[in-house]
Structure 1
Amino acid sequence: MKVHRELPTGEAASLVGLAEEIADGELTPRADEFEARGEFPRDVLRTLGDAGFLGLPYPEEYGGGGVPFEVYVHVLETLSQRWLCVAESVYVHTLSCYPLFTNGTDEQRRRLLPDMIGGALLGATCLSEPDAGSDAASVSTKAVKDGDDYMLDGTKSWTTHGGVADFYTVYGRTGGPGARGLSCLLVDATTPGVLPQKREHKMGVTSSPTAQIVFDGARVPADRRIGREGKGFLIGMTAFDVGRLSNAACAVGLAQAALDYAVAYARTREQFGQPIISFQGIGFMLADMATQVAAARALVLRAARLRDRGEPHSVEAAKAKLFATDTAMRVTTDAVQVLGGYGYVKDHPVERWMREAKLLQIVEGTNQIQRVVISGAL
């Protein structure tokens, strides 16, 4: 089903068209096979990087695309419709560059950003720990000053791109307890003492590597600290807005894919001599699914437009993340139901999409945390 999108300019529409072309040619034919094998599509990320999709919201002076965030979320939705793993990788990488762009010095940005957002490198973020997830202020990984370096020791959990990233944006404790003791470091993956652990065995998005990263006396030059000491928590919290909005866009794409598949199936599957879409029980379910997807997309675009105008959007990003990911879970589950027994077997992608949707309700702050953010703002 062709989705009507209100793109702001003809150039933006061309960019989304290019994303569709690459996604149809490089993502759709590989998704099922790579997910079944649990293989990370690094070459696909290089193709997207060469096409400029790993730095879309960053300025052209650093090698980015210079596009509004509204266009960026359209691209993420497009990629997610074809393969969530790749869309997630694009936004995880984009997010890993965000602290340097917003809080790095001019010299750091000139020296480091072009390679990071130009597609040659792949990034990851290390924030969560075995005992610190939603409570980011309780991070215990230590970054102790030693001459002109920091000695980094600790364990980070749930790191997307763990073991395949070229650099890690790491939040470690340089001061006392609580939020004010955290700092942000940009760590090269080849640094001695950076030790990726075995990949997690996940319910879905199996082609995307998730692993713990152990830092065992990793020596990080002080000029790789982003922002002043003690500002790491604030940097991480502002990055959450980007992550939540990106996550929400991916959820819309996944839900749209499930809706399209369920509608196509219901049009061709016949029972009692007629297509099942003609039965009210199925037709009304599809109507609800279509309405929820449209509402989720509207919330994402509203938050993106507020961001583009430089207006406060943290609460709107939380609303978008909450509603869009809950919608993805609901719509993918209903898509399985529309297909009946066929929806429960791996011959059709809806069962995979349902498993993938669950991840989106958890990452970038669980949906319970989003409710905390929203209710607190009331």
Structure 2
Amino acid sequence: MAASRVLSNAARLGSCIGSRHRFIRNLHIRGISSCVDPSHGLTDEQKEFQKVAFDFAANEMAPHMAEWDQKEIFPVDTMRRAAQLGFGGIYVQPDVGGSGLSRLDTSVIFEALSTGCVSTTAYISIHNMCAWMIDTFGNAEQRERFCPDLCLMEKFASYCLTEPGSGSDAASLATSAVLKGDHYVLNGSKAFISGGGDTDVYVVMCRTGGKGPKGISCVVVEKGTPGLSFGKKERKMGWNSQPTRAVIFEDCAVPVANLLGLEGQGFNIAMRGLNGGRINIASCSLGAAHASVQLARDHLLVRKQFGETLSNNQFLQFKLAEMATQLVASRLLVREAAAALQDDRADAAALCAMAKLFATDQCFDICNQALQMHGGYGYLKDYAVQQFVRDIRVHQILEGTNEVMRMIVSRNLLSEI
């Protein structure tokens, strides 16, 4: 039923199933086949909405990817068209407007969309995570109030955990929320917030109790609330199609009715959201790597040096083979972790950390090697490969740095001794 919702939305839109544009640099993502085919192992339904996502990426995102990056455009209209396909609340329940798909389905969709624009897809993944948190931990009134607009992307959401003084050590966050009557009064600031200032709903982790994770709660803050303000727009190496700002709370009064779950449950909510977020961001890395393998292959087939095409150079043949192997290995691990999270397995958190660690490292290496294969051309902004390199570098840092992912995996292993 959930898959048919996405497919029926796609059929109704129509524009995404017609003739396909090629990538700016003659990239045709779905043309790549054989050993790196991303549809291997998927059900017929999954292949269909994967096709919808690939087509949307090729038609609606790829032709504008460079412009969004260079002009730092937040493509609201494009994202709302994606929401019409069911991509605004992919794993939100259908009763509040979501598509109700699985974590594996979600990974497949984000991988496909990222071939068109990593930065935009990464924001869509964060938005989906916020919508899921409200859907999962909110009460009936909160779900009905927030989720339908979020699923349609009539409103956009941001996730507010990181602070200037607490990044990897999220449990030490200092933003306070003091209960006064029927409001919490928030003071503090959040750093590196995707969508900050341009979005409508902020899912905020704040301290309602003592030190440590048990003193943290989660509240939803709506744009326009007195005391809510934003820092300057950050200038970034990549992810330029989504704005990043500090989110600042100065005696910001938020109704108690906006508390998600119970007081003291915020850290658990944050970590559960991040498990899925790690799968999402790893999936975005897969899309960039898949596109970069194609770009590299196409370049090797046409670029001549020393009287023959680069595709005849055995060193480059072997490098391409290694890139393809890294891509497929990463995809298999990400999809295994997605299935584990969907099934609520005991090892799900560790597998999500493994997938995020492995896929973001390996996929960055793939994109970087693809740039190297392009030689000097790869360093030009006329060529898409450099943007993939810039856009996915941050994936090794956010949603928990890859150093923290190593800590999570090692703790899981050592706790069983």
CA offset at residue 281 of structure 1?
A: 1.2
Amino acid in structure 2 at the alignment position of 1:328: C
2:353–2:409 contact (8 Å) kept in structure 1 = yes
CA offset at residue 162 of structure 1?
A: 0.6
Give ranges in structure 1 of 5+ residues lacking alignment: none
Match of 2:19 in 1: none
State whether structure 2 residue 63 is matched by structure 1 residue 29. yes
- 1:53 aligned counterpart, secondary structure: coil
Match of 1:231 in 2: 265
For 1:53 and 1:353, the matched residues in 2 are separated by: 22
For 1:252 and 1:194, the matched residues in 2 are separated by: 36
CA offset at residue 100 of structure 1?
A: 1.8
Match of 1:364 in 2: 399
Q: How does 1:264-303 map to 2 (within 5 A)?
A: 264-303=298-337
1:125–1:170 contact (8 Å) kept in structure 2 = yes
Match of 1:339 in 2: 374
For 2:212 and 2:197, the matched residues in 1 are separated by: 29
For 2:391 and 2:150, the matched residues in 1 are separated by: 27
Residue 135 of structure 1 is aligned with which of 169, 181, 186?
169
- 2:52 aligned counterpart, secondary structure: helix
Match of 2:49 in 1: 15
- 1:288 aligned counterpart, secondary structure: helix
Q: How does 1:117-128 map to 2 (within 5 A)?
A: 117-128=151-162
Match of 1:329 in 2: 364
Match of 2:355 in 1: 320
CA offset at residue 8 of structure 1?
A: 4.2
State whether structure 2 residue 86 is matched by structure 1 residue 52. yes
CA offset at residue 307 of structure 1?
A: 2.1
Match of 1:352 in 2: 387
Residue 153 of structure 1 is aligned with which of 187, 211, 218?
187
Q: How does 1:195-234 map to 2 (within 5 A)?
A: 195-234=229-268
For 1:36 and 1:112, the matched residues in 2 are separated by: 32
Amino acid in structure 1 at the alignment position of 2:412: A
TM-score by length of 1: 0.97
Amino acid in structure 2 at the alignment position of 1:276: L
CA offset at residue 7 of structure 1?
A: 5.7
1:159–1:212 contact (8 Å) kept in structure 2 = yes
CA offset at residue 10 of structure 1?
A: 2.7
Runs of 4+ more than 3 Å apart = 6-9
For 1:115 and 1:342, the matched residues in 2 are separated by: 43
For 2:134 and 2:382, the matched residues in 1 are separated by: 43
- 1:171 aligned counterpart, secondary structure: strand
2:120–2:241 contact (8 Å) kept in structure 1 = no
For 1:43 and 1:114, the matched residues in 2 are separated by: 17
Q: 1:39 to 1:110 in 2, by over 3 A?
A: closer
CA offset at residue 101 of structure 1?
A: 1.9
2:171–2:212 contact (8 Å) kept in structure 1 = yes
- 1:241 aligned counterpart, secondary structure: helix
For 2:252 and 2:378, the matched residues in 1 are separated by: 47
1:7–1:13 contact (8 Å) kept in structure 2 = no
1:259–1:335 contact (8 Å) kept in structure 2 = yes
Amino acid in structure 2 at the alignment position of 1:267: L
1:81–1:257 contact (8 Å) kept in structure 2 = yes
RMSD (CA atoms):
1.3
For 2:147 and 2:380, the matched residues in 1 are separated by: 44
| Number of equivalent positions | 378
TM-score by length of 2: 0.88
- 1:133 aligned counterpart, secondary structure: coil
CA offset at residue 15 of structure 1?
A: 1.6
Amino acid in structure 2 at the alignment position of 1:298: L
